[in-house]
């Protein structure tokens, strides 16, 4: 095994019997030769099962939908990319020249996919218990401080619950501006709450995220006005 991959193996605390699996797990499809797509598929399945099993045991109070939302807060592109950065996975990823020139080793999607592929590689090399142990090591901090369900609600849901608890009219979301080319558009959305005479604004790469950002901005303005969010009623997520 090359020295740099040996260092990666040491960081994930697994000594490979088949070093080629680790090499393949960090090889992006833009590069020549066997790539990590199949290993990513395998690692994704193992990761979701292990995390689902852990939160099932740790949070016996949660219903199915709440467990799904909790798992999604742990297993998502951003969270996986952050963990990949924690173990310095990026410099080991093998990319084609095009992806290399555009900073692919820093891209969240590529980092997240490579991390899942590494999990798949460890599973193939050492079996389920080895794969499970790796997932638990990688996610140990996240699992030790699982968020409560209120914190997992998105801004639009929290704003809706706040207003409904006070029998106030729900806000209106309007797209005020769209800029950029078709595949790189930016949306500016306004969230207008006439009952509170407050307006929030959000900008993001798609309409849904821009609406969430606008709702979050409005919630911040509500908090700044001295109102509290503690007496909101329970409402089913949108």
Q: Which amino acids are annotated catalytic?
A: 44, 116
Long-range contacts, 193-198 (Cβ 8 Å, 24+): 193/159, 193/163, 193/168, 193/169, 193/218, 194/169, 195/163, 195/168, 195/169, 196/163, 196/168, 196/222, 198/222, 198/225
Q: Are 103 and 110 in contact (CB under 8 A)?
A: no
Q: Encoding tokens for residue 72? A: 């999604």
pLDDT in tens, 154-183: 889 889 989 999 999 999 999 999 998 877
Beta strands in the chain (DSSP E): 172-179, 186-193, 198-204
Task: Please report the domains of the chain, with CATH numbers, ordered by start residue.
Answer: 3-146 (1.10.1520.10), 153-224 (3.30.160.20)
Binding positions for Mg(2+) = 40, 113, 116
pLDDT at 231 over 50: no
**pLDDT, position 232:** 40
Whether pLDDT at 237 is above 90: no
Annotated binding site: 40, 113, 116
Mean of the per-residue pLDDT values of the chain: 90
Whole-angstrom Cα distance, residue 233 to residue 238? 14
pLDDT confidence bin for 236, thresholds 50/70/90 = very low
């Amino acid at each position: 095994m090359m020295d740099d991959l040996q260092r990666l193996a040491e960081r994930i605390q697994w000594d490979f019997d088949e070093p080629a699996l680790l090499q393949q797990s960090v090889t992006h499809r833009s590069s020549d030769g066997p790539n990590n797509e199949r290993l990513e598929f395998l690692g994704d399945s193992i990761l979701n099962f292990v995390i689902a099993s852990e939160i099932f045991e740790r949070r016996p109070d949660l219903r199915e939908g709440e467990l799904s939302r909790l798992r999604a807060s742990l297993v998502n592109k951003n969270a996986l990319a952050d963990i990949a950065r924690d173990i310095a996975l990026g410099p080991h990823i093998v990319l084609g020249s095009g992806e290399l020139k555009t900073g692919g080793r820093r891209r969240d999607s590529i980092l997240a996919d490579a991390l899942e592929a590494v999990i798949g590689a460890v599973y193939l090399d050492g079996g389920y218990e080895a794969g499970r142990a790796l997932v638990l090591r990688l996610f140990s901090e996240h699992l030790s401080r699982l968020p409560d369900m209120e914190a997992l609600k998105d801004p639009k849901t929290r704003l809706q619950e706040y207003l409904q608890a006070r029998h106030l009219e729900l806000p209106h979301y309007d797209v005020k501006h769209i800029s950029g080319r078709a595949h790189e558009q930016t949306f500016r959305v306004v969230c207008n709450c006439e009952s509170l005479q407050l307006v929030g604004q959000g900008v993001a790469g798609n309409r849904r995220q821009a609406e969430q950002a606008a709702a979050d901005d409005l919630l911040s303005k509500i908090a700044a006005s001295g109102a509290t969010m503690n007496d909101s009623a329970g409402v089913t997520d949108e």
